Amino acid sequence: MPKALVFLADGFEDIEGVAVIDVLRRAGINVKTVGLVGNIVTSARGVRVYADERLIDFDKASEFDAIVLPGGAVGTENLGKHEKVLRVIDDFAKSGKLICAICAAPSILAKRGLLKEKRATIFPGMEKLLDKPRDEAVVVDGNIITSQGPGTAIAFGLKIVEMLMGPGISSRLKQDLVA
């Protein structure tokens, strides 16, 4: 069973975090949520979520097949400041593992040079940060999946499922979700 790692930073966009986790778990993907500061993470809308593990205790990123970075302005800023998160992103890039970022979070990948000459999407208005911006809900280029924002979260989750488990499972799940 594929394993996905979802980093949750205070200020993460609720829908982008929770909906993607839900879609991945419905598909049978083993999802581990990691809170940057502690187990309790507060979303952009003030919803408190209990993360499976604290980043300070987490050291098994190499066991995962995909990393997911939810967006949200404050959440993205918090993710982008954390050296351990940035090291995990870099390690995934070096090993060719799946890196998934939504909303403002693709900006972290752009700053790390991971979107150089790659097609990607980002929250509308932030396109200048990308080399090859696309006005699409979800964009895949190699091992990187990017998506625009809260309204594209289910499509983003389904694309992650497709990349990890194949189009058949993703298609069946899309029907089940009425997406």
Q: How high is the pLDDT of residue 41?
A: 98
* Angstrom distances, CA of residue 24 to CA of 46, 51, 92, 179: 23, 16, 19, 14
Active-site position among 61, 100, 103, 108: 103
DSSP class of residue 11 equals: T
Q: Which of 31, 1, 28 is nearest to 17 (CA)?
A: 31
Provide the pLDDT for residue 74: 98
- Does 103 qualify as catalytic in the annotation? yes
Note the pLDDT of residue 136. Answer: 97
User: What pLDDT is recorded for position 98?
Assistant: 98
Q: One digit per residue, pLDDT tens: the chain, 179 residues?
A: 999 999 999 999 999 999 999 999 999 999 999 999 999 999 999 999 999 999 999 999 999 999 999 999 999 999 999 999 999 999 999 999 999 999 999 999 999 999 999 999 999 999 999 999 999 999 999 999 999 999 999 999 999 999 999 999 999 999 999 99
pLDDT of residue 8: 98
Report the amino acid identity of residue 49: V
Sequence ranges of the domains in the chain: 3-177
At residue 177, the pLDDT reads: 97
CATH superfamily of 3-177: Class I glutamine amidotransferase (GATase) domain (3.40.50.880)
Answer whether 3's CB lies under 8 Å from 21's CB.
no
